């Protein structure tokens, strides 16, 4: 049983084109390419997230000097 020759592959390709049609094959190729690109982007994003330093949560003491509206508390305002 050896490998197939070029003629065998051409006959298989011709049958596949006749069964599925060129438009469907083009769409399948496009979808496959987009899936591979999305996978690569996802892997890149995960690698970048792993490389980024992790931030520690802020202390409550630093946030206690400001009110909910983001302005300084009454006791820290300038007396002028």
Question: pLDDT tens digit string along 30-64?
Answer: 999 999 999 999 888 776 766 666 666 665 555 55
Strand-pair partners of 67: none
pTM: 0.42
Distance CA 26, CA 43 (A): 26
pLDDT of residue 72: 53
Q: Which of 3-7, 15-19, 58-62, 74-78 has the highest mean pLDDT?
A: 15-19
Lookup: tokens for 70:
């983001």
Closest CA to 29 of 39, 18, 37: 37
């Amino acid at each position: 049983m050896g490998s197939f020759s070029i003629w065998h592959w051409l006959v298989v390709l011709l049958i596949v084109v006749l069964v599925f049609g060129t438009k469907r094959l083009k769409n399948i190729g496009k979808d496959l390419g987009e899936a591979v690109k999305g996978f690569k982007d996802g892997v890149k994003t995960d690698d970048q997230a792993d490389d980024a330093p992790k931030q520690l949560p802020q202390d409550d003491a630093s946030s206690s000097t400001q009110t909910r509206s983001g302005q300084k508390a009454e006791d820290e305002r300038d007396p002028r």
